[in-house]
Amino acid sequence: MISVVDRFLRYIRFDTTSNEYSSTVPSTDTQRLFGKELVKELRRLGLKDAKMNKNGYIMATLPANISSSTPTIGFIAHLDTSPDLSGKNIKAKIIKNYSGGDILLNKNNNLYLYEAEFPELKSYHGQDLIVTDGTTLLGADDKAGIAEIITAMDYLYKHPEIPHPRIRIAFTPDEEIGRGADNFDLIEFGANFAYTVDGGELGQIETENFNAASALFTITGKNVHPGTAKNKMVNSMLFVKDILDFFPADETPSQTEGYEGFFHVVSILGSVEKTQIKYIIRDHDRVHFEERKQIAKQCEEYLNNKYGKGLVSLELEDSYYNMIEILDKYPQITNLAVRAMQEVGIKPLLTPIRGGTDGARLSFMGLPTPNLFAGGHNFHGRYEFIPIPSMTKAVETIIKICALAKGIQI
């Protein structure tokens, strides 16, 4: 049987960076190429119905080997990696028996994974870690999740003595650009509940995520030759500071944690005639989330009253909502994961996601879907790493969830 580590190291050879500026589905052809290889692998492992649909979604079934009417369980991960940093030509390396201290990632670039800067490393002394060479991300988000799900299915297929219900797995494209659930066919998937395997450190169970919205401010200016611009030119870029100053300086990602929400400016593109500032708005509390959106609207109104109607326009769009609104109705799904972790020797960590997952949207679409740990740290960047024992425990957790599912009612 192929190990979860060998699978993971093979999967990260595929560059599956998604592209938010693409209008295709998936947003990059490389995701489809990776998906085709996964379908071949799943069929070789015995999941004969594995297929990828026209939108790049992969689904497969491990049939039940019990006769009870236990609901169908789903496990979901995503094919793409973040466009924040390249996922091409990843050169991963294994740090054997990490003994503490700083880890040299790249000698030529003098890049280190500093233990003082990333204190979570202290939890993994004595373990084998997979790290990057500092020039790319690692891709554990979410190729670790894919490797863990497939390894668990491989094990269950080869060990029919372990009783389990019907299991459906799915791998989605473009999660990192917010499109992972856009074309997810719940009827085709046919599960009663599911888990995304897309979380961080060992033991995480996430049933809460941010409510999320995007806010795009467009400032319209007027361009004339600068030599004759007096009382005529309106330079749209000069109003950027007014917008930035309108939002609380201490409510940004770098100033918040836990359940604290934020305003995050993600891009500024400008010229004299037109400047656009894009924010994302996040809050776990639905009431506070709506209040934050109102602040964005007040900013638009304030600037138009101060400088003239039509100077600023705002496009405000909700992205997803906190899945706790749905999952609170199905505590047995979370309790099943908690019990499974405890039985394989893991301390469950019920933590809020300071972000979103496919599971949030799927939950509101009708498929209750908490998020389970995949084991990695520092996703989306060159300092990403994953402890190998955490990957092994993720596989054990998936297997145990399936083995304990008999008789669960949804």
- Helix (H/G/I), strand (E/B), else coil: 344: coil
| Residue 171, both tokens | 């791998």
Marked catalytic residue, from 142, 175, 201, 208:
175
Chain Cα centroid distance, residue 409 = 28
For CA atoms 285, 359, 88, 33, give the dihedral sign: negative
Residue 119: asked if its preceding bond is cis (omega within 30°), the reply is no
Peptide bond preceding 142: is omega within 30 degrees of 0, i.e. cis?
Answer: yes
Which of 80, 141, 154, 396 is flagged as catalytic? 80
Strands 371-373 and 204-208: antiparallel
Identify whether 80 is a catalytic site residue. yes
* Assigned token pair, 205: 């169970």
> 251 catalytic, yes or no?
no
Contact 74, 191 (CB under 8 A): yes
Q: Are 112 and 104 in contact (CB under 8 A)?
A: yes
Q: Which pairs from 280-284 meet CB under 8 Å and 24+ separation? A: 280/212, 280/213, 280/214, 280/215, 280/319, 281/212, 281/213, 281/214, 281/215, 282/210, 282/211, 282/212, 282/354, 283/210, 283/211, 284/208, 284/209, 284/210, 284/211, 284/259, 284/322, 284/352
Cβ contact 331:290 at 8 Å: no
Beta bridge partners of 267: 278
Contact between 36 and 180 under an 8 Å Cβ cutoff? The reply is: no
Q: Which residues are catalytic?
A: 80, 175
